[in-house]
Structure 1
Amino acid sequence: MFPETVLHSRRLLLRAFDAGDITDTLASCSDSLTQRWLPLPRPYTLDDATAWCTTTAHAMRDSGDGIQFAVTDADSKRLVGQVGLKKTDWRALVSEVGYWVSPWARGRGIAVEATRTLAHWLLTDQRFQRMELRAAAENAASQEVAIKAGFHREGTLRNAGFVHGARVDLVLFSLLPGDLGSSTDPTEHR
């Protein structure tokens, strides 16, 4: 299982979800754009947000499946999104990243910065060998995040995903330790 940790970047603080995130999680996951690309409950209710913030996100770490972070503005501390790992293969040292950005924070590079911060921690501190990112073939914004975060496009996984009962093709991206470059990453962790 991943250790409990807090990650910092220039503008963001990545930490465990807590009950204080329920209202903003409800608003974010009820948003039509978030709902379009993620297989979230429809409608997304207060009970769903409460379960995610207080139980489900924490259970993913406890089970070894991954780790979920509330992405917050470093200054205001307000929730601006989520980034996390799932489908972790501990033997192969591979995990898949996923994210969403709150409607009030879109267009500011939040997903790119949070994904880079998590990738640096996973591939450097945790010594993983590969981070994967899968985006629906029609989700251009998510694919743009992958490219800006330094991922390499590997190909299309035909009919490999589903969103609200419909099958979708997924574009597979990957990031390896050598892709991080030799420059010092501005993230800090503790």
Structure 2
Amino acid sequence: MFPETVLRSRRLVLRAFGNGDIPDTRASCSDPITQRWLPLPRPYTLDDATAWCTTTAHAMRDSGDGIQFAITDAGTKRLMGQVGLKKTDWRALVSEVGYWVSPWARGHGIAAEATRTLAHWLLTDQCFQRMELRAATENTASQAVALKAGFHREGTLRNAGFVHGAQVDLVLFSLLPGDLRPSLRPAGGHTLAAMTEERRRDPAAQRRRDTRLHS
């Protein structure tokens, strides 16, 4: 599983969801734009928000499927959205990113900034080899976020998505370690290639080293 961590960018703090996020999560996930492209319950109730913030988001990390972050404003601490990893392939070191942005935070590049922050952590600190992003072909806003975050468009996956009872085509984007800027050298002087080889030879030893680097 991924280690518990807090990530920071110029404007944002990415942290685990908690009880204090329940009201804003409900408001965000009840919004028609958020609902349009995500397979969320309809209506999105207070119980749904409570389950996500206190149980479901944390269970995804515990199961090894991924990790979920609340996107918060570094100054006000208010919830601005969600970004997270899912469908993680630990053998291939590949994971898929997903996100939503709260209505009051849209139009300020929040999703792209949060996605870039998570990508740098995944592809450097966690030594992954690929991050994927999938967006419905008609979801042009999400595709714009992918390009702004530095992803490369690879093609269309026909009938690969399922949203509110209907199949949809998905555009596949990817980001590799070599796509990141500036340097790929993580803290501690280890090269990305060396860290990746170390993880493959002895994952337990690598997790121990990661813990020391982030403690």
Q: TM-score, normalised by structure 2?
A: 0.85
How many Å apart are 1:183 and its aligned residue?
A: 4.5
Q: Distance in 1 between matches of 2:89 and 2:159?
A: 22
Deviations 1:4-36 (A, max 9, x none): 000000000000000000000000000000000
SS at match of 1:145: helix
Q: Distance in 2 between matches of 1:181 and 1:38?
A: 30
Could you say which residue in structure 2 is the equivalent of 1:89?
89
Could you say which residue in structure 1 is the equivalent of 2:35?
35
Q: Distance in 1 between matches of 2:97 and 2:142?
A: 11
Equivalent positions of 1:55-66 (< 5 A) are 55-66=55-66
1:103 aligns to 2:103 (yes or no): yes
Percentage identity across paired residues of the two chains = 87
How many Å apart are 1:129 and its aligned residue?
A: 0.1
Deviations 1:51-87 (A, max 9, x none): 0000000000000000000000000000000000000
Amino acid at match of 1:111: A
Amino acid at match of 1:84: G
Amino acid at match of 1:18: G
Show structure 2 runs of 5+ residues with no match: 186-213
1:153 aligns to 2:123 (yes or no): no
Show structure 1 runs of 5+ residues with no match: none
SS at match of 1:99: strand
Equivalent positions of 1:40-189 (< 5 A) are 40-183=40-183
| Structure with greater strand percent | 1
How many Å apart are 1:181 and its aligned residue?
A: 2.7
Aligned structure 1 segments of 4 or more residues deviating by more than 6 angstroms: none
Deviations 1:167-188 (A, max 9, x none): 1000000000000033589xxx
CA contact (8 A) 2:124 2:184 kept: no
Could you say which residue in structure 2 is the equivalent of 1:26?
26
SS at match of 1:132: strand
Q: Distance in 2 between matches of 1:32 and 1:77?
A: 24
How many Å apart are 1:156 and its aligned residue?
A: 0.2
Q: How many residues align?
A: 187
Greater length-normalized contact order (CA 8 Å, ≥ 6 residues apart): 1
Deviations 1:141-182 (A, max 9, x none): 000000000000000000000110011000000000000033
Q: Distance in 2 between matches of 1:166 and 1:23?
A: 29
Q: Which protein has the larger Cα radius of gyration, Structure 1 or Structure 2?
A: 2
Amino acid at match of 2:42: R
Q: Distance in 1 between matches of 2:109 and 2:4?
A: 25
